[in-house]
Amino acid sequence: MTMEAALASLAKTCEAIANGRFDDIDDLYEVITNEAVPGEIRALAESFAGMVVQVEAREFHSSQLISDLSETKRQLEIAEAKLRKENAELKTRLDKFEVAYDETEAQMEVQKVAESDYFKSLQSRAKQLRSRFKSS
């Protein structure tokens, strides 16, 4: 491979890399391993090959993170739906409990007051006052 061919191959491969296409990487390895190509150009090709490896590793890591985040999001959405359902059920149960509790408690309080000596005394005094008022 001549120096001009190596430079052309390197330029073509670098353009492909810049556009996100990593299919032409084999051309870089041909330049790197060709002893007829000057050392500076081989070193440059090797640097580009190293960059491609790093970019591919980052892209792989990013895709793994995206996949993991998508799965976590899916699980959180399931958990949120479950919690919403449980909260709705608990609210319904609480509303029913409060209504039943309020009615029962009110009846018990009224009965307790009505049976107390103090209330009976007040009733008696009220009857006496009404009798006096009617008599007057």
Inside any domain, residue 107: no
Residue among 16, 51, 47 at smallest CA distance from 31: 47
Query: For tokens 């500076």, what's the residue?
Result: 40
Q: Is residue 124 part of a domain?
A: no
Domain range for 23: 3-101
Total domains in the fold of the chain: 1
Question: Is residue 90 classed exposed, middle or buried when 0-12, 13-18 and 19+ CB atoms within 10 A define those classes?
Answer: exposed
Express each pLDDT in 85-114 by its tens digit: 999 999 998 888 766 667 788 888 999 999
Q: Tell me what pLDDT residue 67 has.
A: 96
Q: Is residue 32 part of a domain?
A: yes
Structural domain includes residue 128: no
CA separation for the pair 131, 136 (Å, rounded): 9
> Is residue 77 assigned to a domain?
yes
- Is 136 inside any structural domain? no
pLDDT tens string 53-92: 898 899 999 999 999 999 999 999 999 999 999 999 999 9
**Which residues have CB under 8 Å from 56's CB, separation 6+?**
22
Residue that is written with structure tokens 């029913």 in the block: 96
Pair of tokens at residue 99: 């209504």
pTM: 0.53
